[in-house]
C-alpha cells in the first residue's frame, strides 16, 4: 500500500512537472493592440468589455528597453495582436520575438489595423495576416465601428457568436456637441439641438471652434467640452465643427482661435 502511494505520488509529481513547463496557451478572449494612440485606448477598452473580450495594450517603445520581459509577457496570452505604429527598432525587436515564440503560439495572428511602411519587418518574416475588413473598421473608427471590429474578430477569428455588421462611414466633417453622441450634419440641426437643450442664446455672437475629427471619434474631447461650456457661460454661442486633417488643409481658409 505504501509503495503504491509512493508510485502514485511520483506519477502525479511528474505530471505536474510536465504541466509546469508547458507553454502558456493563448487566451481566445485576449486581444492585443500594439502601437495604437493613447487617446484611442479608453474607447478600445470599453468596446472590448462590451464584446466580452479583454484588450491588452503594448507600447512598442517599451519593447526595446533593457529588461523589457514584462512588456513581452503582456503579449503572451494574446490570440490576436493588432499592430499599427512602430519605429524601425521596435518593429525589428517585436517581429523577432514573434518568430521566436511561434512554436508556443502557432495559431496566433498578427493583423495590421492599417498600412504602415514599417510593417515590412513583419511581412518579410511571414508574420502578417492581411484583412481589408479590419482596416475598414479601424479607418472609419468611432465607438460603433470599434465595437463592430470586435464582433467581426469574434466571428471570423475566434469562432465565437457575434452579430457582424459593416463599418459605418463617418463623414469628413460635422458639428460636435458633448450632449449628442453622433456628429450633426449641418448648422441648422446643430442650432436646433442646442435650442432644445436651452443652450442657445438668441442674438448672441457665434464663436467657431475648429477641431480635428480624430479627437471626436476617439472621444478625447475633455478639453473641447470645457471650452464649449466656458464660452456658453459667457453668453456666447460656441459652434464646434469637426474635420479630418486632409479636409482642413484643403480649405482655402482657417479659423484662428482668439482670446475673448
Whether 239 and 136 map to the same domain: the answer is no
Whether 133 and 177 map to the same domain: the answer is no
Q: How confident is the model at residue 252 (pLDDT cuts 50, 70, 90)?
A: very low
Whether 42 and 152 map to the same domain: the answer is yes
Of 158, 183, 211, which residue is a domain's last? 158
Dist. CA 74–CA 115, nearest whole Å = 24
Of 113, 128, 158, which residue is a domain's last? 158
Least confident residue range of 50-59, 198-207, 208-217, 225-234: 208-217
Residue 181: pLDDT over 80: no
| CATH number of the domain to which 108 belongs | 3.40.50.2300
pLDDT, the chain, mean: 81
Q: Does 167 reside within a domain?
A: no
Q: How confident is the model at residue 205 (pLDDT cuts 50, 70, 90)?
A: very high
Residue 239: pLDDT over 80: yes
Whether 154 and 52 map to the same domain: the answer is yes
Q: Does 17 reside within a domain?
A: no
Least confident residue range of 23-27, 39-43, 196-200, 250-254: 250-254
* Cα 19–chain centre separation: 35
Predicted local distance difference test score (pLDDT) of residue 99: 94
Q: Note down the domain range covering 110.
A: 27-158
Q: Does 1 reside within a domain?
A: no
What number is the average pLDDT over the span 133-150? Answer: 92
Residue 223: pLDDT over 50: yes
Q: What percent of the chain is modeled with pLDDT above 70?
A: 80
Predicted local distance difference test score (pLDDT) of residue 243: 67
The more confident residue out of 212 and 122 is 122
Whether 70 and 37 map to the same domain: the answer is yes
Residue 11: pLDDT over 90: no
Highest-scoring range by mean pLDDT, 17-21, 241-245, 247-251: 241-245
The more confident residue out of 186 and 214 is 186
Q: How far is CA 99 from CA 24, 102, 111, 127, in A?
A: 16, 5, 15, 8
Count of domains observed in the chain? 2
Q: Does 140 reside within a domain?
A: yes
Residues in the chain: 260
Q: What percent of the chain is modeled with pLDDT above 90?
A: 56
For the stretch 21-77, pLDDT in tens is 334 445 678 999 999 988 889 999 999 999 999 999 999 888 776 556 777 888 888
Whether 154 and 182 map to the same domain: the answer is no
CB 244 within 8 A of CB 211: no
Whether 38 and 149 map to the same domain: the answer is yes
Dist. CA 236–CA 206, nearest whole Å = 6
Q: Which residues pair with 173 in a beta bridge?
A: 243
Predicted local distance difference test score (pLDDT) of residue 211: 85
Q: Does 177 reside within a domain?
A: yes
Placement of cell 464649449 in the chain:
228
Residue 134: pLDDT over 50: yes
Q: Does 194 reside within a domain?
A: yes
Whether 147 and 177 map to the same domain: the answer is no
Whether 181 and 154 map to the same domain: the answer is no
Q: Does 14 reside within a domain?
A: no
For the stretch 98-113, pLDDT in tens is 999 999 899 999 999 9
Dist. CA 17–CA 21, nearest whole Å = 7
The more confident residue out of 89 and 12 is 89
Whether 33 and 132 map to the same domain: the answer is yes
Whether 45 and 141 map to the same domain: the answer is yes
Of 158, 185, 220, which residue is a domain's last? 158
Predicted local distance difference test score (pLDDT) of residue 24: 43
Name which of 66, 62, 60 is nearest 88 in CA terms: 60
Q: Does 11 reside within a domain?
A: no
Name which of 89, 72, 96, 82 is nearest 35 in CA terms: 82
Whether 143 and 202 map to the same domain: the answer is no
Amino acid at each position: 500500500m505504501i509503495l503504491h502511494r509512493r508510485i502514485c505520488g511520483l506519477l502525479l509529481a511528474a505530471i505536474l512537472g510536465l504541466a509546469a513547463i508547458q507553454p502558456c496557451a493563448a487566451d481566445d478572449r485576449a486581444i492585443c493592440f500594439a502601437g495604437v494612440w493613447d487617446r484611442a485606448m479608453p474607447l478600445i477598452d470599453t468596446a472590448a468589455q462590451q464584446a466580452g473580450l479583454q484588450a491588452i495594450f503594448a507600447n512598442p517603445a517599451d519593447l526595446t528597453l533593457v529588461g523589457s520581459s514584462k512588456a513581452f509577457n503582456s503579449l503572451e496570452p494574446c490570440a490576436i495582436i493588432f499592430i499599427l505604429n512602430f519605429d524601425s527598432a521596435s518593429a525589428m525587436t517585436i517581429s523577432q520575438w514573434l518568430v521566436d515564440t511561434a512554436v508556443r503560439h502557432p495559431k496566433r495572428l498578427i493583423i495590421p489595423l492599417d498600412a504602415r511602411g514599417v510593417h515590412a519587418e513583419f511581412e518579410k518574416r511571414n508574420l502578417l495576416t492581411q484583412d481589408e475588413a479590419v482596416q475598414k473598421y479601424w479607418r472609419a473608427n468611432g465607438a460603433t465601428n470599434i465595437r463592430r471590429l470586435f464582433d467581426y474578430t469574434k466571428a471570423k477569428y475566434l469562432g465565437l457568436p457575434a452579430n457582424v455588421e459593416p463599418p459605418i462611414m463617418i463623414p469628413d466633417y460635422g458639428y460636435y456637441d458633448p450632449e449628442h453622441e453622433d456628429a450633426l450634419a449641418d448648422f441648422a440641426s446643430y442650432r436646433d439641438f442646442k435650442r432644445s437643450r436651452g443652450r442657445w442664446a438668441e442674438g448672441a455672437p457665434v464663436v467657431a471652434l475648429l477641431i480635428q475629427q480624430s479627437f471626436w471619434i476617439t472621444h478625447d474631447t475633455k478639453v473641447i467640452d470645457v471650452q464649449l461650456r466656458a464660452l456658453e457661460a459667457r453668453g456666447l454661442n460656441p459652434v464646434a465643427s469637426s474635420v479630418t486633417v486632409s479636409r482642413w488643409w484643403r480649405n482655402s481658409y482657417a479659423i484662428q482661435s482668439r482670446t475673448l
